[in-house]
């Protein structure tokens, strides 16, 4: 059964730009009340203004990697919004560095942001969702979490980890009315590659060609809103090449990785 989005309160992290911003605008257009979170209060305020019925939406800025801030943000959301129907764990950081050129500290930083921060916030929200009779946890993984490629060793590992964690959560809390969906974006036109971490922890600072030629964030959000509203649990939103790669991986992983080695994905 299709969900009535207009009746929902949806908390979106990483909402100050990119796909988080696009999702906030798309869900607000359909009548949902949005809780927008990210680190930059001013950017969140700008996104809020772009959302339909802007006055009813809520801004709660915080650094998702800081456990104390996450708890304070959760308390603030609970106070201001009351019930949280959906949590979309979108905040994250990507990577553009070879494994042998990446320090352990950088790998831990990526894992902290892309895995531990997501599970931490979900565990904060889940008891209330269970008490209210249900809710939805949405994890934004990546096609890189399904397929290992060059320059994304730690990132792909973190995104694969969040995918598996979501699978377990789905199995454990189904009887409590908790729905779990995982989104696997391919190349989307955002600042993800500009902000991606390199081997020493600095940001790449440039746009990848593949990212620049990817789907627009608006097109991505349109597909995601439709899929989530229909109750879909595994949602791949990507270009034809990325979708083909996921299909080849299911049939013949060795064939896929031969192709990846030849293409030299960056």
| CA gap 32, 79 in Å, rounded | 18
Given 115, 155, 234, 257, the catalytic residue: 155
Angle at 86 between CA 42 and CA 66, to 5 degrees: 50
The DSSP symbol for 237 reads E
Q: What are the distances in angstroms from CA 131 to CA 36, 71, 127, 138? A: 23, 18, 6, 18
Q: Which two tokens stand for residue 220?
A: 């991505």
Domain ranges of the chain: 5-239
pLDDT score recorded for residue 174: 96
pLDDT score recorded for residue 2: 53
| CA gap 229, 231 in Å, rounded | 5
pLDDT score recorded for residue 1: 47
Residue pLDDT tens, the chain, 266 long: 457 899 999 999 999 999 999 999 999 999 999 999 999 999 999 999 999 999 999 999 999 999 999 999 999 999 999 999 999 999 999 999 999 999 999 999 999 999 999 999 999 999 999 999 999 999 999 999 999 899 999 999 999 999 999 999 999 999 999 999 999 999 999 999 999 999 999 999 999 998 999 999 999 999 999 999 999 999 999 999 999 999 999 999 999 989 888 887 77
Contact call for residues 212 and 234 (beta carbons, < 8 A):
no
Mark whether 155 is an active-site residue.
Answer: yes
pLDDT score recorded for residue 264: 72
The DSSP symbol for 204 reads -
Domain 5-239 sits in CATH 3.40.390.10:
no
Q: What are the distances in angstroms from CA 71 to CA 47, 59, 137? A: 23, 15, 17
Q: Find how far residue 266's CA is from the centre of its chain.
A: 20
pLDDT score recorded for residue 179: 98
Strand partners, 87: 11, 137
pTM, full prediction? 0.95
């Amino acid at each position: 059964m299709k969900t009535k989005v207009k009746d929902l309160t949806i908390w979106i992290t990483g909402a100050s730009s990119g796909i988080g911003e696009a999702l906030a605008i798309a869900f607000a257009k359909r009548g949902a009340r949005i809780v927008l979170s990210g680190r930059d209060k001013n950017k969140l305020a700008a996104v809020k203004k772009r959302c339909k019925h802007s006055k009813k939406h809520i801004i709660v800025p915080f650094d998702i990697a800081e456990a104390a801030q996450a708890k304070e943000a959760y308390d603030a959301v609970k106070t201001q919004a009351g019930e949280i129907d959906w949590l979309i764990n979108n905040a994250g950081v990507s990577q553009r560095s070879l494994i042998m050129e990446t320090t352990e500290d950088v790998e831990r930083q990526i894992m902290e942001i892309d895995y531990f921060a997501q599970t931490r916030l979900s565990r904060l929200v889940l008891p209330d969702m269970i008490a209210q009779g249900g809710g939805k946890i949405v994890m934004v993984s990546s096609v890189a979490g399904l397929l290992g490629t060059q320059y994304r060793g730690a990132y792909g590992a973190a995104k694969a980890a969040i995918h598996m964690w979501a699978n377990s959560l789905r199995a454990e809390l189904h009887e409590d009315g908790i729905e779990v969906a995982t989104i696997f974006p391919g190349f989307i036109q955002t600042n993800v590659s500009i902000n991606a971490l390199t081997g020493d922890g600095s940001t790449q600072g440039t746009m990848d060609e593949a990212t620049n030629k990817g789907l627009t964030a608006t097109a991505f959000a349109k597909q995601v809103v439709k899929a989530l509203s229909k109750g879909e649990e595994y949602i791949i939103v990507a270009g034809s090449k990325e979708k083909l790669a996921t299909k080849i991986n299911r049939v013949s992983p060795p064939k896929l990785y031969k192709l990846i080695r030849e293409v030299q994905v960056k």
